[in-house]
Amino acid sequence: MSPTQATTLSTAFNKSSTSPAVIIPQTNRTYSYKELFSQVHSFQSQLARFGIEPRSAVSIALPNTLEFIVSFIAVTNQRAIAAPLNPAYTQAEFEFYIDDIKSVLLIVPRGAVKSNAEAVKAARKFGAGMAEVWVDEKSGEVQVELVEKGKLEGAREQKVTEGLESEVALVLHTSGTTGRPKGYVSLPLKQVL
């Protein structure tokens, strides 16, 4: 990459490198940069099929797992806005965050929709679509399924794109001293790096 070329999550790593990018201790699996970005591209292609377009807000309520890593990078590569949320939030907390940024999609672990998890109840209240993610045990690949369309009903398939350094890529809410959310910080992709 030349010194004048913009750096984004999509261009920051050598996508053909076989060096370790992610190590998952629970499964003793290592993913190279090449494998990671293959998974990111596959996930991003699914997001595009769901109708996720640039500047769409996508809430991600996942623990720190391979699923989180892949979904976060895929969302930002699709030029959407990633809004990571603590999966331990209450329904009221999820409602505040999902409504505040007008999420079109909520990404949750497999089984969360059927179990009517707190995040799911909140997403339904505001019409956000819901996608479940999991890692296939045999292949080690992150899978994603759009379980409820919500606001994505009738959305047209989008092109797979690449993040731009000047666009907002991440939204983090702040709580201040009262513990009640007061606003959020939005970061352009170049500052996420």
| pLDDT at site 190 | 44
Report the distance separating Cα 103 and Cα 133, nearest Å. 17
Is the pLDDT at 142 greater than 60, yes or no?
yes
pLDDT band of residue 180 (cuts 50, 70, 90) is: low
Instruction: For residue range 31-42, list pLDDT tens digits in order.
Output: 999 999 999 999
pLDDT tens digits, 79-102? 898 899 999 999 999 999 999 889
- 62 pLDDT more than 60: yes
Q: What percent of the chain has pLDDT over 90?
A: 63
Structural domains of the chain ordered from first start: 20-152+162-192 (3.40.50.12780)
Is residue 136's pLDDT more than 90?
Answer: yes
Mean pLDDT within 167-181: 57
Q: Residue 175 — very low, low, confident or very high, per pLDDT cuts 50/70/90?
A: low
**Element (DSSP H or E) covering residue 122:** helix 118-125
Q: Number of C-alpha atoms within 13 angstroms, CB side, residue 100?
A: 20
pLDDT of residue 167: 62
Alpha helices in 51-117 (DSSP H): 66-77, 91-101
Q: Which residues contact 44 (CB under 8 A, 6 or more apart)?
A: 74, 75, 77, 78, 160
Which region among 45-54, 68-77, 83-92, 176-185 has the lowest average model confidence (pLDDT)? 176-185
Q: What is the pLDDT of residue 3?
A: 44
Share of residues in the chain with pLDDT > 70 (%): 77
For the beta carbon of residue 159, count every other beta carbon within 10 angstroms: 8
